Structure 1
Amino acid sequence: MPRPIPRIDIPHTDLWTALFERKDKPFPDSQVLYQCPVTGRNYTYASLRRTTEQLGSGLRRHFSWQKGDVLALFSQNCIDTPAVTWGCHWAGGIVSPANPAYTVRELVHHLKDSGSKALFTQRSLLPVALKAAAESGISRDRIVLIGEERDPGFKHFTQLLDEIPRGTRAKLVPDEDLSFLVYSSGTTGLPKGVMLTHLNVVSDMFMVNSAEGELLKWNRDKILSVLPYYHIYGLQCLVHFPAYSGLTTVVMSSFNLQNFCSIIQNYKITYTYVAPPILVHLAKNPIVSNYDLSSLRMITSGAAPLTKDLIYAVKDRLGIEVKQAYGLSETSPVTHVQRKWDVGMGSNGPPLPNQIVKFVDPDGNEVPTGQEGEVWIAGPNVFKGYHNNIAATLASKTPDGFFKTGDLGYEDEHGNMYITDRVKELIKFKGFQVAPAELEGLLMGHDSVHDVAVIGSYDESIASEVPLAFVVLKEGMEKNEENAQAIVKWLEERVARHKRLRGGIRWINEIPKTASGKILRRKLKNILAEDVKDAKVKAKL
């Protein structure tokens, strides 16, 4: 049987109500929640609430916004993101964040699949946004800018704000109406829309607060926002959680090590959420020594597993404690968080409240404590289903509400969860999901490629997997570095940065497959492991 997990009270309400109509807010309305370190501009709790109401009303007036309309948000991190998000919710809309590194092809899929009625973006992203919007049927007058830069040809979101909000806030059914449509890569190709209801997100926010709220106080701590807001990890932990807990978060548009360290030093940052590659910098990069990071007392890392060596390296060099968390887009996302960095080290910690977590063998039977199985999770934070994809929903959710994560792991006697492998074929590059099938489909369109298989190759220097392609060349083509680089470059022009073949090309005479044609990726991983082993032996000689 699954281990008993504590329960907390979660209000049956929508996200806007949970944030802005609460009776137990411990911090003042003047508390700064989101701070831009470049311009000095910020949002207090009071100005944030007012802006959401003004924008929600303005969306109705300018765009005849209806309950259930989807607003696509194609942007780097920006202090305007929370106001736009909850302004859309005030009007009954659904927010669908898109990766700012998307190519036109990828953004078109996102806009079409989500059925977006408007596109909020930034001036620097207009070249991609304009082309994708045109192909998706979104008119220019529904492309709206956020952030500091303006363009005379497009509305800025501040021009949509009604000085006095008109009408009333949309009435929502928390466990039915969607708050977000986030996109998660699947093994079969293009990303799938993950439907998160208001209750899903509110539940996870309260679950996160039950653990992190014990560690962080609004009148003592400051958070650095560096994880991308379009990703559910950043969205929950760095947008929703600070607004609920009253923590000031200093917002970086994207990661840069010098800026990261400078902000920690200048704003006396005490806490941040990261992915493992940032920890590699903190452990090894000489630039870090130029800054005083003594205010930073703790880091939570998610998106990919950490090695104990890396945790100790950061602690030994900087005195900073690093703990781990686990979650998925489909679970809103956080399901597990370490409470203390040195308790259950190497694990993701125990489950957050109000969930049922079990570990299941290939036959669907629950395995005993300490034995490896696929992680299945049920709870109020588990998503409604995949947008326009009933087959994928049925394949991933059981009739009694468990989500099959596709991750293999086990639980120790104290309830700490350790992730050991993945059932799914997804590659995780710095926390971003990369679907091998999508890259394979594109690579098959290259003139030199006869057959191809893509796998993840672990790169110790960045503590992350990178995509690597095994390629069977067409007859007459030479297996040389020039052709390999040509294929890598060709793919770069067609995908977002995180999907590039950073692991390079490996030539192979035949892709190993089952009789039914399924790629045997485990055999390819074994071939790669042997290549790495041989290279290390040669290096010692």
Structure 2
Amino acid sequence: MPTNSSYPEAPIPDVDLWGFLFERKDKPFSDDKVIYVDPHTNRSYTYAQVKATAIEFGQGLKALWDWQKGDVLALYTTNCIDTPAITWGTHWAGGVLSPANPAYTVDELAFQLKDAGAKAIVTQMAFIKNAQEAATKVGIPLDHVIVMGDERDPTYRVKHFTSIRKTAGSARYRRTKAKPDQDLAFLVYSSGTTGHPKGVMLTHRNIVANTMMIKVAEGGKLSSTGGPGGDGDKILAFLPFFHIYGLTCLIHQSMYSGFQLVVMPRFDLEDFCKIVQERKVTFLYVVPPIVVLLAKSPVVSKYDLSTVRMMNSGAAPLTKELVEAVYNRLKIPIKQGYGLSETSPTTHTQPWETWNTQIGSVGTLLPYQEAKYMSPEEKELKPGEVGELWIKGPNVFKGYLNNPEGTANALTPDGYFKTGDVGYQDADGNFYITDRIKELIKYKGFQVAPAELEGILLSHPSINDVAVIGVYEKEEATELPRAYVVPKDGLGRTDDEKKAIVDWLGKRVAGHKRLRGGVRWLDEIPKSASGKILRRVLKVKAQEEEQGPKAKL
């Protein structure tokens, strides 16, 4: 029998995200509670200000751009406190939000815009050039590319989102309600093993359910009142809002539960420590490379991080040694969680009480779900037996956009999502993830598709064949993309030529896709009879190779 969650289950409200957040009767905090704050400018939004700004933006979309139900707004930006109001303003108008990585090149962004069918783009001035070029490539009018944030540049004739809010006659427009279990709230893009990213279709009900799941999982440990200064818990947001981890766990959880979210545009260790100390941050969502810095960097010793009561780490497993190193140094406990874009994202987390007794586990199954581990023959396995994790619940996505084959391969007829992750469950209901069936490389929480890099590298004039794998780097607690290259005649197989390939690819892809694991030469790429790259053979080879210097980028 599939495992059910041991957490209590309250009914999931049958409403769209706007109704869930802004039409509720049980809000435990006041309308003037500051929810989002920029620690650098001290600009902030209260609950009431987010609501009012979102309504005005949604009205402006309808008045200015004839916004229709299902229209897609792309968000191409680093973290910004304007993001929540723009997100829910899009939903107010019946639209769908599709966040894109601001590190994307013009071509990478253009693919997402075209695939999603985006009608408009919101960005910041730092990214306006790429946003406009990508918009032109896919036929989005340049007056549908607007900016948010504090920066202005008179050399670009581009509207700020606040001008959309002030569109004449917009106040006569009314909210478009969404069908919670059918209409999309988000189109997030997850790297596909075949190369191009896949549009993960997440409904309003998916996000409502996952927000409720997270709230139940934290078991009342987090509060909108009390704590240092009586302001309740404060969460530092440096994980990207364009990723589902940031979208749900940070943006939605803070608004629903009344936590203050201190918003960093991007991670910087010194800035991070300073803000934790000055703002008395109490809870942190992190990824393993951040945990490594907290365990080892001398910068950390300059600051008082004692207000942090708990950290939650996701995206990749943590070792016992790393968890204990941080606790011994800072006395901050770290619990682990697990999730995927396709599950909105969080499916498991460790209870606060077991952070130091179940290190290595991703925790127990959150409420409203069922899970089981399956053999390669798709037979259900018993506790302790290793297989692929399948999950079913209201947080499981609707499918992949424009990709019926991918959807059919990922979702079973009875609603289970095949995660592609391998592991087991112990007798006490703790889940463990030990490996991946998927070929995706995870670099600091970002997914990198080997096939995408291979496709680009094969266009290099000096490369005959290539295979890309992830190699684990212990010092950084992450996988690094490495290319095994069969050179064409005339390539001298020198270190300079390796670096030239690394640099060549680096100019064509987002930063997280660069070959930080370097380049290795091969005479032949190992392949199966059907021509499929045998990546596991290369992984064994990587383990056997003497530790060589990584490519310097």
Question: Shorter-chain TM-score: what band?
Answer: over 0.9
Q: How many positions carry a matched residue from both structures?
A: 535
Tell me the alpha carbon deviations over residues 247-292 of structure 1, each in whole angstroms, 9 at most, x when there is no partner. 0010000000010000000000011101111111100000110111
SS of alignment partner, residue 189 of structure 1: coil
Aligned partners of 1:232 and 1:332 also within 8 Å: yes
Cα deviation for residue 486 of structure 1 reads 0.6
Alpha-carbon RMSD across the aligned residues, in angstroms, is 1.2
SS of alignment partner, residue 290 of structure 2: helix
Is 2:36 aligned against 1:30? Answer: no
What does residue 303 of structure 1 align with?
315
Is 2:179 aligned against 1:173? Answer: yes
What does residue 46 of structure 2 align with?
44
Aligned partners of 1:117 and 1:138 also within 8 Å: yes
Question: What amino acid maps onto 1:92 in structure 2?
Answer: G
Tell me the alpha carbon deviations over residues 288-342 of structure 1, each in whole angstroms, 9 at most, x when there is no partner. 1011111112110101111111100100000000011100000000000111212
Matches within 5 A, 1:353-502: 353-502=367-516
What does residue 107 of structure 1 align with?
109
What does residue 81 of structure 2 align with?
79
Cα deviation for residue 414 of structure 1 reads 1.4
What does residue 214 of structure 1 align with?
220
Cα deviation for residue 213 of structure 1 reads 5.4
Is 2:250 aligned against 1:242? Answer: no
Q: 1: distance between equivalents of 2:41 and 2:177?
A: 36
What does residue 332 of structure 1 align with?
344
Q: 1: distance between equivalents of 2:233 and 2:95?
A: 32
Q: 2: distance between equivalents of 1:451 and 1:247?
A: 51
Q: 1: distance between equivalents of 2:143 and 2:166?
A: 18
Is 2:162 aligned against 1:158? Answer: yes
Aligned partners of 2:4 and 2:369 also within 8 Å: no
What does residue 322 of structure 1 align with?
334
SS of alignment partner, residue 190 of structure 1: coil
Tell me the alpha carbon deviations over residues 334-376 of structure 1, each in whole angstroms, 9 at most, x when there is no partner. 0001112124211110010000100000000000001111000
Aligned partners of 1:324 and 1:347 also within 8 Å: yes
Of 266, 270, 289, the residue aligned with 2:278 is 266
SS of alignment partner, residue 34 of structure 1: strand
Of 350, 360, 372, the residue aligned with 2:364 is 350
Q: 1: distance between equivalents of 2:421 and 2:494?
A: 37
Q: 2: distance between equivalents of 1:140 and 1:326?
A: 39
Q: 1: distance between equivalents of 2:395 and 2:171?
A: 32
Aligned partners of 2:79 and 2:266 also within 8 Å: yes
Q: 1: distance between equivalents of 2:153 and 2:342?
A: 36
Q: Assess, with a 3 A threshold, how the Cα gap between structure 1 residues 129 and 461 changes in structure 2: closer, same or farther.
A: same
Aligned partners of 1:488 and 1:504 also within 8 Å: yes
Q: 1: distance between equivalents of 2:438 and 2:534?
A: 13
SS of alignment partner, residue 186 of structure 1: coil
- In the superposition, the TM-score normalised over structure 2's length comes to 0.95
Q: 2: distance between equivalents of 1:320 and 1:136?
A: 48
Cα deviation for residue 8 of structure 1 reads 2.8
Q: Assess, with a 3 A threshold, how the Cα gap between structure 1 residues 63 and 151 changes in structure 2: closer, same or farther.
A: farther
Aligned partners of 2:486 and 2:524 also within 8 Å: yes
- In the superposition, the TM-score normalised over structure 1's length comes to 0.98
What does residue 198 of structure 2 align with?
192
SS of alignment partner, residue 326 of structure 1: strand
SS of alignment partner, residue 304 of structure 1: coil
SS of alignment partner, residue 154 of structure 1: coil
Aligned partners of 2:319 and 2:359 also within 8 Å: no
SS of alignment partner, residue 168 of structure 1: coil
SS of alignment partner, residue 235 of structure 1: helix
Aligned partners of 1:57 and 1:162 also within 8 Å: no
Is 2:136 aligned against 1:134? Answer: yes
What does residue 233 of structure 1 align with?
245
Is 2:101 aligned against 1:95? Answer: no
Q: 1: distance between equivalents of 2:548 and 2:206?
A: 48
Q: 2: distance between equivalents of 1:84 and 1:3?
A: 38
Cα deviation for residue 172 of structure 1 reads 1.2
Cα deviation for residue 151 of structure 1 reads 3.2
What does residue 22 of structure 2 align with?
20
SS of alignment partner, residue 324 of structure 1: strand
Is 2:71 aligned against 1:69? Answer: yes
Aligned partners of 1:30 and 1:45 also within 8 Å: yes
Question: What amino acid maps onto 1:17 in structure 2?
Answer: G
What does residue 12 of structure 2 align with?
10
Of 139, 146, 149, the residue aligned with 1:147 is 149
Aligned partners of 1:8 and 1:354 also within 8 Å: no
SS of alignment partner, residue 365 of structure 2: coil
Which runs of 5 or more structure 2 residues have no equivalent in the other structure? 226-231
Q: 1: distance between equivalents of 2:171 and 2:445?
A: 39
Tell me the alpha carbon deviations over residues 355-402 of structure 1, each in whole angstroms, 9 at most, x when there is no partner. 010000000000000111100000000000000000000011100000
Aligned partners of 2:21 and 2:256 also within 8 Å: yes
Cα deviation for residue 166 of structure 1 reads 2.5
Question: What amino acid maps onto 2:262 in structure 1?
Answer: V
What does residue 539 of structure 1 align with?
none
Which runs of 5 or more structure 1 residues have no equivalent in the other structure? 537-541
What does residue 304 of structure 2 align with?
292
SS of alignment partner, residue 423 of structure 2: strand
Tell me the alpha carbon deviations over residues 173-226 of structure 1, each in whole angstroms, 9 at most, x when there is no partner. 110000000000011001000000000111111111111252110113111001
Aligned partners of 1:429 and 1:464 also within 8 Å: yes
Q: 1: distance between equivalents of 2:183 and 2:548?
A: 54
